[in-house]
Structure 1
Amino acid sequence: MKIVKYPHPALRAVARPVTAIDKDVQLAAGAMLDLMYTAAGLGLAAPQVTLDFQLIVMNFEGDPAVKEAEFVAINPVIVESKGTLNDREGCLSFPGLYQNVRRAKSVKVQAYNLKGELYEMTCSDLPARVWQHEIDHLKGELFIDKMGPLGKLGSKRDIEKFLADFEKDKKKGELPADLAPKL
């Protein structure tokens, strides 16, 4: 399992709901947590590792030792959002790219844990941003889609490099030659 980089088509795929929390889902969650910590991230969504189902792992502290900040979310939904906050954001599928993105300041979310129990969380600021960012991944939406005109302009060179690197990886045989990005 590895984190794919933009413009890998898996990043634009709409994830399907999880219908059973089986061993595959549990193993995927564990592997995704390990990968997220290795990459020094705060969250990781299944499409970022080419899995096509609605699974997110997060740790708002980014620290594997702080277990109370660690969450696994299956079939998450935002049921309420309030306010707006424009702040810096990055993504493990866009290493090194950071731009300001406008998000809701606070959200109320519902999701299932690995035991199949429904839980609800209300949070603000960074945790709310992480929830929104990761849920967007499940819909095939990326943080570059949420940037304003100046952010998009400031990211143009980085995006072009990601596109060029993707094509190089295909030519080197690291990605299938027929893998076409969904931009």
Structure 2
Amino acid sequence: MAIRQIITYPHPVLREEAKKVTTFDQELKTLVQDMADTMFDAPGVGLAANQIGIARQIIVVDRSEQPDDKNYVAYINPILSDGEGSVVDDEGCLSVLEYQSKVKRFQKVRLTAQDIEGKPVEFVAEDRLARILQHEVDHLRGTLFIDRLSSLKRTLYKKKLKKILQHQE
């Protein structure tokens, strides 16, 4: 399919609330495949549609067991509930240039969504998968992982980003 451009902070589409998907057709399947190709090319472990400029409730998650595998799953209109436990671990983001930080997330969450055909999907995710799902669903709400950091860390990142962007010009 096609590798799309990943939108980076501070682009406004990353702050948009994604709209619910109501049509499950070939266009959706093509978009999901493009998202997966883009995620693997980046490389990343998850990607939300607004990260490629499309504010729709679609995420893809890398489910590969081996480094060379390209196994993914798409979740449409995902909703997280029943968060349990608490884990602090490093996070980065394809849309947040050159930055990683420790972020507190639930250790376990319930995902309710639809698959690419529109069929209901529901399961409990733990640990790494739970973290990825929370990160990607945040994107659909217009939230970035840097929003979960202290104001000092966010301010320091914004200063760093300003220098990165000046250097790119």
Cross-structure match for 1:65: 69
Whether 2:93 is the aligned partner of 1:100: answer: no
CA displacement at 1:125 relative to structure 2: 1.4
Within 5 Å, which residues of 2 pair with 1:15-94?
15-61=18-64, 63=67, 65=69, 67=71, 70-94=72-96
The answer to whether the Cα contact below 8 Å between 1:43 and 1:57 also exists between their aligned partners in 2 is yes
Structure 1 residue 162 displacement after superposition: 5.6
Q: Which has the higher contact order (CA 8 A, sep 6+)?
A: 1
Q: Which residue of 1 aligns with 2:130?
A: 128
Distance 2:157 2:143 in 1: 17
Q: Is the 2:97–2:161 contact (alpha carbons within 8 Å) kept by the matching residues of 1?
A: no
* Structure 2 unpaired stretches of 5+: none
1:175 corresponds to:
none
Superposed CA offset, 1:92-126 (max 9, x none): 00132100111111111011111111111212111
C-alpha contact (below 8 Å) 1:36/1:44 kept by paired residues: yes
How far is 1:147 from its partner? Answer: 1.1
Hey, what's the Cα distance between the residues in 1 that align with 2:37 and 2:84? 32
In 2, are the aligned partners of 1:14 and 1:139 still within 8 Å (CA)?
A: yes
SS of the aligned residue for 1:51 comes to coil
DSSP 3-state at the match of 1:145: helix
Give the deviation of 1:25 after TM superposition.
Answer: 1.2
Please say if residues 85 and 103 of structure 1, whose CA atoms lie closer than 8 Å, have aligned partners that are also in contact: yes
User: What is the Cα-based RMSD across aligned positions, in Å?
Assistant: 2.1
Q: Is there any run of 5+ residues in structure 1 with no aligned partner, and where? A: 169-183
* Alpha-carbon distance in 2 for matches of 1:142, 1:24: 27
TM-superposition CA deviations, 1:3-37 (whole Å, max 9, x none): 01110111001100001112221111000000000
* Alignment partners' CA distance in 2, 1:141 and 1:71: 22
Q: Secondary structure at the match of 2:130?
A: helix
TM-score (norm 2): 0.88
SS in 1 for 2:82: strand
Q: Counterpart of 2:116? A: 114
The structure in which a higher percent of residues are strand is 2
Question: How far did 1:158 drift?
Answer: 2.7
Q: How does the TM-score come out when normalised to structure 1?
A: 0.82
Tell me the number of residue pairs that the alignment of Structure 1 and Structure 2 aligns.
Answer: 165
Contact conserved, 2:19 with 2:57, CA < 8 A, in 1? yes
